Structure 1
Amino acid sequence: MKYKMHTLLVLCLVIAGAVFAGGCLSADKDDDLNNVGMTSFKSEKELQNYLENSGSLNYLSSTSSASSSDSSAKVTAEVPQAVMPEEEADIAVNEAGVSGGGEYGDYSQTNVQIAGVDEADIVKTDGKIIYYTPNLYYPTNVTLHNDSKYPYYTYDTYRMTFIINALPAATASIISNITETGGSLYLADDLLITISTAYKESKIIAYDITDPAAPKVAWEQEYEGYYVDSRLIGDKLYFVASEYGGILPLTFMGRELAYSDCYYPYGPDIIRPDADVTYFITKLDTKTGDNDKTIALIGSYSTIMFVSGDNMYLTNYYYPDTQLMYLDFVESNGSNYLPSDTMRYIKKVMGYDLSTRIKYMAVSEAVGNYTTNMTEDEYTNFSESFYKDYNAYSSALIIEAEKTTITKINLETFDVASGFVPGRINDKFAMDENSGYLRVISTVGDNYRTEESTLRSTVSILNAEMETVGTLDNVAAGEYIQTTRYIGNTLYLMTYTDGDPFILIDLSNPESPSVLGEMKLEGTYSYIYPISDTLLVGFGYTGDWRDWRTKLSLYDVSNPENPVELDVFYFNADEYVSVYDYHGFTWNAARNLMIVSGSDTAYIFEIKDNEITLMKEDIHKDSYVVRSVYIGDNLYVFSNLEIHIYSMTNWQRMNTISIEQPVYPDYGTIYPTHDDPIYPTRDEPVYA
Structure 2
Amino acid sequence: MRKPFRWLSVACVVAIGVMIFAFMIEKVGMAASGGAFVEHGWNVQFTAPLSKQAIEKEVVYVTDQQGKKVKAKLVLSKDGKELQVKGLEPGEYALNIDDQALTRTFLKSFKQNKIKFTMYESIETVKSAADLKAYFDMAKNLQGRNQSEEVTYESAEVASDSSSDKASSGSSGHSETNVQVQGIDEPDIVKTDGDYVYTIAEGTVRITDIRNGQMKKAASIKMEEDFYPSQLFIQEDTLIVLGEKMIRYDKKLAAQDQIMPMNGMTTISLYDMKKRTAPKLLREVSAEGYLSNARMTDDTLYIVTNLYPMLWALEEIDGATVRPRITDTADKDLGYMAYEDIAILPGATEASYTVVTAIDLHSPEKSELSTKGYLGSSNQLYMSKDHLYLTATKYHFEQNNSKAMIWNPGTANTQFFKFTLDGVKVEFTGSAELKGTVLNQFSMDEDKGYFRVVMTEGNMWDEKNPSKNHLFVLDKGMKQVGSVENLAKGERIYSARFMGDKAYMVTFRETDPLFVIDVADPAKPKVLGELKIPGFSNYLHPLDENHLIGFGYETVSEKNPSGGEPFIRTKGMKVSLFDVTDFANPKEKDMVVIGGEGTYSPVQYDHKALFQHAGRNLYGFPVSVYGENGKQHQLDFKGAGALIYEITPERGIVLKGDLVRKPDKGQQYEEWETQVQRLLYSKDRLFTVSYNDLNSYDFNTFKKLEQLKWDDKK
The verdict on a shared fold, with TM-score over 0.5 as the criterion, is yes
Distance of 2:654 and 2:193 partners within structure 1: 29
> In structure 2, which of residues 406, 412, 419 is the aligned counterpart of residue 409 of structure 1?
419
| Counterparts of 2:526 and 2:569, CA distance in 1 | 38
Distance 2:502 2:141 in 1: 40
How far 1:492 sits from its partner (Å)? Answer: 0.8
Paired with 1:461 and 1:183, the residues of 2 have a C-alpha distance of 35
Alignment of 1:24-423 (within 5 A): 39-44=123-128, 45-55=130-140, 95-99=166-170, 101=172, 106-134=173-201, 137=202, 159-169=203-213, 171-180=214-223, 182-200=229-247, 202-245=266-309, 248-249=322-323, 251-253=325-327, 254=334, 257-267=337-347, 275-286=350-361, 287-288=363-364, 290=367, 292-300=369-377, 303-322=379-398, 325=399, 402-412=412-422, 413-416=425-428, 417-423=430-436
Cα distance in 1 for partners of 2:464, 2:554 equals 23
In the alignment, the residues of structure 2 paired with residue 55 and residue 619 of structure 1 have an alpha-carbon distance, to the nearest angstrom, of 52
How far does residue 100 in structure 1 lie from its aligned partner after superposition? 5.0
Distance 1:163 1:661, change over 3 A: closer
Contact 2:496 2:505 in 1 (8 A): yes
Shift of 1:468: 1.0
1:618 matches 2:659 = yes
Q: Spell out the pairing of 1:473-622 with structure 2 (5 A cutoff).
A: 473-544=485-556, 548-573=571-596, 575-579=599-603, 580-599=605-624, 600-608=640-648, 609-619=650-660, 622=671
Quickly say closer, same or farther: Cα 1:133–1:485, change in 2 above 3 A: same
- Partners of 1:191 and 1:56 lie apart in 2 by 46
Alignment deviations for residues 94-121 of structure 1 (CA, whole Å, 9 cap, x no partner)? x2114253xxxx2110111111111111
Structure with more of its chain in strand, by fraction? 2
SS of structure 1 residue aligned to 2:702: coil
Name the aligned partner's letter for residue 404 of structure 1. T
Secondary structure class of the residue paired with 1:569: strand
Q: 1: distance between equivalents of 2:678 and 2:464?
A: 39
248-257 or 404-413, which deviates more? 248-257
1:661, CA displacement in angstroms?
Answer: 6.2
After superposition, the Cα gap between the structure-2 partners of 1:518 and 1:58, relative to the gap in structure 1 and judged at 3 Å, is closer
Alignment-mate amino acid for residue 640 of structure 1: Y
Per-residue deviation, 1:481: 0.8
Q: State the partner residue of 1:375.
A: none
Post-superposition offset of 1:591: 0.8
Distance 1:252 1:642 in 2: 36
Change (3 A) 1:42 1:434: same
Does the 8 Å contact 2:460/2:466 carry over to 1? no
Paired AA for residue 54 in structure 1: A
Distance 1:616 1:319, change over 3 A: same
C-alpha change, 1:203 and 1:261, in structure 2 (3 Å) is closer
- Cα offset, 1:432, TM superposition: 0.7
Is the CA contact (8 Å cut-off) linking 1:282 and 1:291 kept in structure 2?
Answer: no
| 1:161/1:183 contact within 8 Å kept | no
1:646 alignment partner in structure 2: 697
Counterpart code for 2:583: P
The aligned amino acid for 1:52 is D
Q: Which amino acid aligns with 1:304?
A: Q
Query: What's the offset of the Cα at 1:58?
Result: 7.3
The residue identity in structure 1 corresponding to 2:139 is S
Indicate how the Cα distance of structure 1 residues 37 and 590 shifts in structure 2: closer, same or farther if over 3 A, else same.
same
Cα contact 1:37–1:420 (8 A) shared by 2: no
Structure 1 residues not aligned, in runs of 5+: 1-35, 60-89, 138-158, 268-272, 327-363, 369-382, 664-688
Find the aligned partners of 1:445 and 1:575 in 2 and give their Cα distance: 30
Does the residue aligned with 1:562 lie in a helix, a strand or coil? coil
Cα distance in 1 for residues equivalent to 2:323 and 2:555 = 53
Q: Provide the C-alpha distance between the structure 2 equivalents of 1:429 and 1:472, rounded to a whole number of angstroms.
A: 18
Distance of aligned partners of 1:452 and 1:642 in 2 relative to their CA distance in 1, 3 Å threshold: farther
SS of aligned partner of 2:544: coil
CA deviation digits over 1:236-279, x for unaligned, max 9? 11012222216723543326545453333555xxxxx6724322
Alpha-carbon contact 2:196-2:209 (below 8 Å) kept? yes
**Aligned equivalents of 2:459 and 2:343: distance in 1?**
28
**CA distance in structure 1 between the aligned counterparts of 2:297 and 2:306, rounded to whole angstroms:** 21
Deviation at 1:123, TM superposition (A): 1.3
- Matches of 1:245 and 1:659, distance apart in 2: 39
CA offsets 1:637-665 (integer angstroms, 9 cap, x no match): 111132111111222222111122679xx
Return the structure number with greater helix share. Answer: 1
Matched, 1:433 2:446: yes
**1:44-74 per-position Cα deviation (integer Å, ceiling 9, x unaligned):** 2333222222345679xxxxxxxxxxxxxxx
| Alpha-carbon separation, structure 2, partners of 1:190 and 1:647 | 28
Whole-Å Cα distance in 2 between the matches of residues 55 and 236 of structure 1?
A: 36
Contact 1:517 1:562 in 2 (8 A): yes
Aligned-partner Cα distance in 1 for 2:509–2:646: 30
Q: Which has the higher contact order (CA 8 A, sep 6+)?
A: 1
- Does the 8 Å CA contact 2:460/2:492 hold for their aligned counterparts? no
Structure 1 stretches of 4+ moved >6 Å: none
The 8 Å contact of residues 484 and 492 in structure 1, kept in 2 or not, is answered as yes
What's the TM-score once normalised by structure 2's chain length?
0.64
Q: Distance in 2 between matches of 1:536 and 1:477?
A: 24
Identical aligned residues as a percent: 28
Q: Distance in 2 between matches of 1:37 and 1:455?
A: 31
The residue type paired with residue 595 of structure 1 is G
In structure 2, runs of 5+ residues without a counterpart are 1-119, 145-162, 248-264, 311-320, 328-333, 557-567, 625-639, 664-670
Kindly indicate whether the alpha-carbon contact (under 8 Å) linking 2:529 and 2:586 is maintained by their aligned counterparts in 1. yes
Displacement after TM superposition at 1:484 (Å): 0.7
- Aligned CA distance change for structure 1 residues 571 and 494 (closer, same or farther; 3 Å): same
The amino acid of 2:187's aligned partner reads A
> Does structure 2 conserve the Cα–Cα contact (< 8 Å) formed by 1:319 and 1:403?
yes
